[in-house]
Amino acid sequence: MAVENKIMLITYADSLGKNLKELKEVLKEHFAKAVGGVHILPFFPSSADRGFAPMEYERVDPQFGSMEDVRALSREHYLMFDFMVNHISKSSKYFQDFQEKKDASQYWDFFIRYKDFWTGGEPTQEQVDLIYKRKPRAPYIEVEFQDGTREKVWCTFCEEQIDLNVGAPAVKRFIKDTLVSMCKNGASIIRLDAFAYAVKKENTNCFFVEPEIWDLLHEIERVVEPYGVMILPEIHEHYTIQHKIAQKGFWIYDFALPVLVLNALYTGNGKYLKQWLDQSPMKQFTTLDTHDGIGIVDVKDLMPDDEVERTKESMFTKGANVKKIYNTAAYNNLDVYQVNCTYYSALGNRDQAYLLARAIQFFAPGIPMVYYVGLLAGENDIALMEETKNGRDINRHYYTKEEVARQLERKVVRDLRDLMEFRNQCPAFDLNGTCKTTAEGGRLEIVREYQGHKAVLKADLKSFAFTIETQG
């Protein structure tokens, strides 16, 4: 199914119902007009990180269903799949074979071996300091092979997520075969997870390395283009990287919007939000919430540093059950580049504030994405997070079909659904139209227009009251 200008739901295969069949039932029964697309978070067999350490892409994890269940969803909704272009599971057949046979393995060059990558076999401290990393040291794990020898292999994230050597011919074949399979099994969009980390080069920060990263992006584009499938690089960093990608004609994420909207609602001032909306392209997917935390790094230089810090601190003081400890090593977080919290709880579990936040998102340029917890105005799940000691699980509640139905008894959830249906059906939101924003004092106005159709959002950022008017 072709991508439509309708709201995309982000969900795990087992979070709105226990599997893909139940997810399809929930959408058909409750959200048929509200949800156009579905980003099914990784549904392949995985060893860690709730799907983001894939062992293979040939089949669906049996606990979620089958590939036919995925294709059935694709007949009613445009779908986005995840491809972890940067890494694969330590438990995959590829790494297991490499660990067993070492240089005799057909996957001997699948991974980035320190001895081959670095001149002299090891990085200098200066080279380590230069790397854009998520660990307080050089990004590697020490692999013990079956013959008893040991070797360092590149590992950016957790130890179950081993980085791929994307320049190796065998990996290029793997990437192509995987992408083609996704295209044939119902993907309309393929999300390139951790894309900016995929290309490594000595004496660089190994993050969005140019021009090589563009070569990789275009290689992937050429594979999926014959199938009419889009690609969406996932990058959490300075907004200029996103805009650079947009300038080359690719779709991008708007990861800055969540914090800018929070800032506007915390302070009653839409100044920085307006500045951002004025420069935002239409060819993007907007977010307020995802399976990760609320990103801080994405908003740098869109507000003064002290304003960014003020907004981050306000999440802990104005949010509901948001604590700094949830963003520390005690809950498996190495740094605070994201705040772990549901968006509803970031706004203090206040219905009106939350609905206004969504209205702003739906009026912003691009196609909105709504995370499943946000779809149900979900509060922080402290119990799940304490059970797993994973800070991000605060925003990863498992809803049964029955629980979804109960949540729809809440007015805020029904009102949000109505807003989503309005956004999907109103012609003023055509991506070839215009978006104009005015922010004066505590007042915010966003006007969307297309071929005689107009939709106007008028909001009081201090009281959270808002109206929507339409013409045409």
Q: Give me the CATH number covering residue 156.
A: 3.90.400.10
Instruction: Please give the positions annotated as active site.
Output: 193, 234
Q: pLDDT-derived band of residue 325, with 50, 70 and 90 as boundaries?
A: confident
pLDDT in tens, 218-241: 999 999 999 999 999 999 889 999
Same-domain status, 137 and 227: no
Q: Residues 325, 191: one domain?
A: yes
CATH of the domain at 228: 3.20.20.80
Torsion angle defined by CA atoms of residues 106, 107, 108 and 113, in that order, rounded to the nearest 10 degrees? 180
What is residue 244's predicted lDDT score, i.e. its pLDDT?
A: 95
CA angle 190, 179, 68 (to 5 degrees): 80
User: Is 471 within a domain?
Assistant: no
CA end-to-end distance (rounded Å), the chain: 29
User: Residue 123 has what pLDDT?
Assistant: 96
CB 6 within 8 A of CB 37: yes
Q: Are residues 124 and 18 in the same domain?
A: no
**How far is Cα 184 from Cα 181, in angstroms, rounded to an integer?**
5
* pLDDT value of position 334: 55
| Number of domains, the chain | 2
Mean pLDDT of the chain: 96
- My answer on whether 342 and 212 are in the same domain is yes
Percent over 70 (pLDDT), the chain: 99
DSSP 299: G
Which pLDDT value is given to residue 200? Answer: 98
Structural domain contains residue 466:
no
Q: State pLDDT tens for residues 112-154.
A: 999 999 999 999 999 999 999 877 889 999 999 999 999 999 9
The answer on 142 and 13 residing in a single domain is: no
Best CA proximity match to 288, nearest among 357, 381, 232: 357
Please tell me the predicted confidence (pLDDT) of residue 323: 81
The reply to whether 467 falls in a domain is: no
pLDDT at 134: 78
CA 357 to chain centre: 18
| Structural domain span for residue 111 | 93-163
Same domain? For 310 and 383 the reply is yes
Domain membership of residue 470 (yes or no) is no
Instruction: Name the percent of the chain lying above pLDDT 90.
Output: 91
In a domain, 1, yes or no: no
pLDDT in tens, 7-33: 999 999 999 999 999 999 999 999 999
Residue 95: the pLDDT is: 98
Residues 312 and 193 in one domain: yes
Clarify whether residues 237 and 315 are in a common domain: yes
Pairing outcome for strands 187-192 and 453-460: unpaired
pLDDT, mean of residues 185-196: 97
Asked whether residue 469 is assigned to any structural domain, the reply reads no
pLDDT value of residue 214: 98
Domain end residue (candidates: 143, 163, 183): 163
